[in-house]
Amino acid sequence: MVEDKKASGLEDSKLVRKVLRGDRGAFEAIIRKYQQPMLNYVSRMVREREMALDVSQEVFLRAYASLSTYRPEYKFSTWIFRIASNFLIDHWRKKKIVAVSLDQPVENDGDECFLQVADETASVVRELELKELQASLEAAMDRLPAHLRELFVWRHVNGMSYEEMAEIKNIPVGTVKNRVFQAKEMMRVLLEESSCPV
């Protein structure tokens, strides 16, 4: 798995070099490689299908425009997801959506995730069929604060490591971990609350 990632990283650097030499086909290969993970992420952040497509397209165009600033010692996936995350921050700032901030200050991380587990009651998470659970999960995700939703999506939908997420957001790994745990707990509570008590 690690070797796969390394090989993929080398392949990315090679593609970037080709693009910088004027090979447009190499950039198309980059798009094809990253379009699915990018759309999976962006669609969960903006929700509207057309908007998700527009934002993802804009992210790739920005990546192309600043490709000469990409440094091959860093992972290309990290670089392009950072562009996407920053783009969403700008996008929401322009639209003046204050409630959903992705650049939540680090010091706001509290100890909410260190509460004692107390699951004596029956849980809808256990009772629902997988498809029902996934539908409820998508709905609950919409209600997560954007800075937590982003990390939840990266971790569970995109399968990123805590280290990768920390590099993208430029925050400590411990903070990322706390926020992911916090997001998961909030999701669980939202799911339990949104469904009829069993």
**In the complex, what is the shortest distance from the CB of residue 194 to other proteins, in angstroms, rounded to a whole number?**
13
Query: Per rule CB under 8 A, is residue 195 in the interface with other proteins?
Result: no
- Residue 74 phi/psi, 5-degree rounding, is -100, 155
Task: Tell me the DSSP string of 161-187.
Answer: -HHHHHHHHTS-HHHHHHHHHHHHHHH
Residue listed under structure tokens 């903006």: 46
Query: Per rule CB under 8 A, is residue 51 in the interface with other proteins?
Result: no
- Rounded to 5°, the CA angle 21-22-26 comes to 95
Query: Per rule CB under 8 A, is residue 189 in the interface with other proteins?
Result: no
Nearer to other proteins, 90 or 119 (CB): 119
CB atoms within 10 A of CB 87: 17
Interacting residue ranges for other proteins, rule: CB under 8 A: 14, 17, 19-24, 27-28, 31-32, 35-36, 39-40, 42-43, 52-53, 56-57, 60-61, 64-65, 67-68, 113-120, 123, 125-126, 130, 133-134, 137-138, 152, 156-157, 159, 178, 180-181, 184-185, 187-188, 191
